[in-house]
């Protein structure tokens, strides 16, 4: 998962028809996916685009102040120098149900706390734990990485190196590692280094393999968020969370999956039995 303004009080018209003009955004404000200009809304003199009709409907439910704030934020970001660092749009939320500090269930202390640390989402059982995590980030990330590898490995779709295509055991054993809370596997540490230098292409390739491996046996014919048919909003939308496929009716449902991914997994697993 990654991540997460003075407001002007004016009256604005918000038509749902396609309009002329470049949108202020390149990613959908609801799902975070690339936009499609066929799904657009006008906020004053500015255009906002979305990935699908479901997200457009969701945006139209925002109040005027929130819409204006979003447009202002996008304009400010567009005015900044371009950042050369590669940003991957597909990252997983924290996929464990325990706090990395106490080992307790995330809801055991009255409500989980979510923080982004070194670009990764980490969830805790209480507000005291994030500072303890940061005192020794290397060791704490190593601990949760081991748990995430164990959790995601059964669903990893290929037995070949994501870089070379060689069998993972060609050099004596696979290198399994977590990037963006997701499991990736290479045949050697050199290939791991190549992945980390420019991961975008390989993330896309792995996503395609996950869809290919899991789609035929996917047990649900409805969206676990909208509860309607998977093609009801122009879908199905293939969402990858960790090494799991989650089928949705549209990109607008993705945010709710990211909020509670383990609930999505549990419903899929129950239907698979």
Q: What is the pLDDT of residue 15?
A: 36
Q: What is the mean pLDDT of residues 34-42?
A: 89
Q: Beta strands of 125-263 (E only): which ranges?
A: 175-179, 182-186, 237-241, 244-248
Buried b (16+ CB within 10 A) or exposed e, 78-96: eeeeeeeeeeeebbbbbbe
- pLDDT class of 96 with cuts at 50, 70, 90: very high
Asked whether residue 166 is assigned to any structural domain, the reply reads no
pLDDT value for 270:
96
Is 75 a domain residue? Answer: yes
Average pLDDT score over residue span 180-190: 96
What pLDDT does 84 receive?
Answer: 35
Q: Is residue 21 part of a domain?
A: yes
Inside any domain, residue 236? yes
| Mean pLDDT in residue range 42-62 | 90
Around 128, how many Cα atoms within 13 Å sit in the side-chain half-sphere? 4
Lowest mean pLDDT segment, chosen from 67-81, 107-121, 167-181 = 67-81
Residue 32 to residue 203: CA distance in whole angstroms: 16
- The verdict on residue 241 lying in a domain is yes
Instruction: Name which residue leads in pLDDT, 137 or 86.
Output: 137
pLDDT at 138: 96
Domain limit, last residue, from 84, 117, 140? 84
**What one-character DSSP code corresponds to residue 83?**
P
Last residue of a domain, one of 24, 52, 84: 84
pLDDT of the residue at 208: 94
What total number of domains does the chain contain?
2
What are the DSSP E strand ranges found in the chain? 36-43, 46-50, 113-117, 120-124, 175-179, 182-186, 237-241, 244-248
By residue range, what is the domain housing residue 250? Answer: 215-273
pLDDT digits (tens, 9 = 90+) for 58-86: 899 998 888 888 888 888 777 644 433 33
Q: Which residues contact 28 (CB under 8 A, 6 or more apart)?
A: 34, 35, 49, 50, 51, 52, 55, 251
Q: Is residue 220 part of a domain?
A: yes
95 belongs to a structural domain: no
Least confident span in 95-99, 137-141, 227-231: 227-231
Instruction: Give the confidence band of 16 by pLDDT, cuts at 50, 70, 90.
Output: very low
Distance from C-alpha of 75 to C-alpha of 167, rounded to nearest angstrom: 47
More confident residue, 83 or 218: 218
> Do the Cβ atoms of 216 and 186 come closer than 8 Å?
no
Q: How many whole angstroms separate alpha carbon 128 and alpha carbon 105?
A: 15
pLDDT at 32: 80
Domain boundary among 29, 53, 84: 84
Query: Which among 176, 216, 210, 207 has a CA at the least distance from the CA of 88?
Result: 207
Instruction: Tell me the pLDDT of the chain averaged across its residues.
Output: 86
Whether 122 is covered by a domain: the verdict is no
Average pLDDT over residues 240-268: 94
What span, in angstroms and rounded, lies between the C-alpha atoms of 97 and 125? 10
Q: Residue 194: which residues within 8 A CB-CB, separation 6 or more? A: 163
Count of residues in the chain: 273
pLDDT for position 227: 92
Nearest Cα neighbor of 163 from 189, 191, 200 is 191
Global pTM value: 0.67
């Amino acid at each position: 998962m990654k991540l997460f303004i003075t407001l002007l009080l004016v009256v604005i018209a918000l038509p749902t028809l396609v309009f002329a003009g470049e949108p202020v955004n390149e990613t959908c404000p609801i799902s975070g996916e690339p936009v499609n200009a066929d799904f657009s809304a006008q906020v004053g003199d500015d255009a906002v685009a979305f990935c699908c009709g479901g997200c457009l409907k969701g945006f139209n439910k925002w109040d005027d102040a929130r819409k204006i704030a979003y447009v202002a934020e996008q304009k400010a970001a567009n005015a900044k120098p371009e950042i050369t660092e590669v940003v991957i749009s597909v990252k997983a939320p924290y996929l464990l149900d325990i706090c990395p500090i106490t080992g307790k269930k995330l809801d055991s202390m009255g409500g989980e706390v979510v923080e982004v640390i070194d670009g990764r989402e980490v969830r805790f059982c209480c507000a005291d734990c994030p500072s303890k995590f940061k005192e020794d980030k290397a060791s704490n990330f190593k601990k949760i990485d081991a748990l995430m590898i164990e959790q995601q490995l059964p669903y990893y779709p290929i037995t070949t190196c994501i870089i070379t295509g060689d069998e993972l055991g060609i050099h004596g054993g696979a290198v399994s590692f977590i990037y963006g809370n997701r499991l990736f596997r290479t045949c050697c540490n050199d290939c791991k280094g190549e992945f980390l230098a420019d991961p975008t292409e390989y993330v896309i390739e792995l996503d395609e393999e996950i869809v290919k491996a899991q789609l035929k046996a996917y047990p649900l014919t409805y969206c676990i968020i909208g509860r309607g048919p998977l093609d009801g909003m122009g879908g199905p939308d293939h969402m990858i969370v960790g090494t799991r496929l989650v089928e949705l009716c549209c990109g607008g449902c993705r945010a709710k999956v990211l909020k509670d991914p383990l609930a999505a997994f549990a419903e899929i697993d129950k239907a698979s039995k």
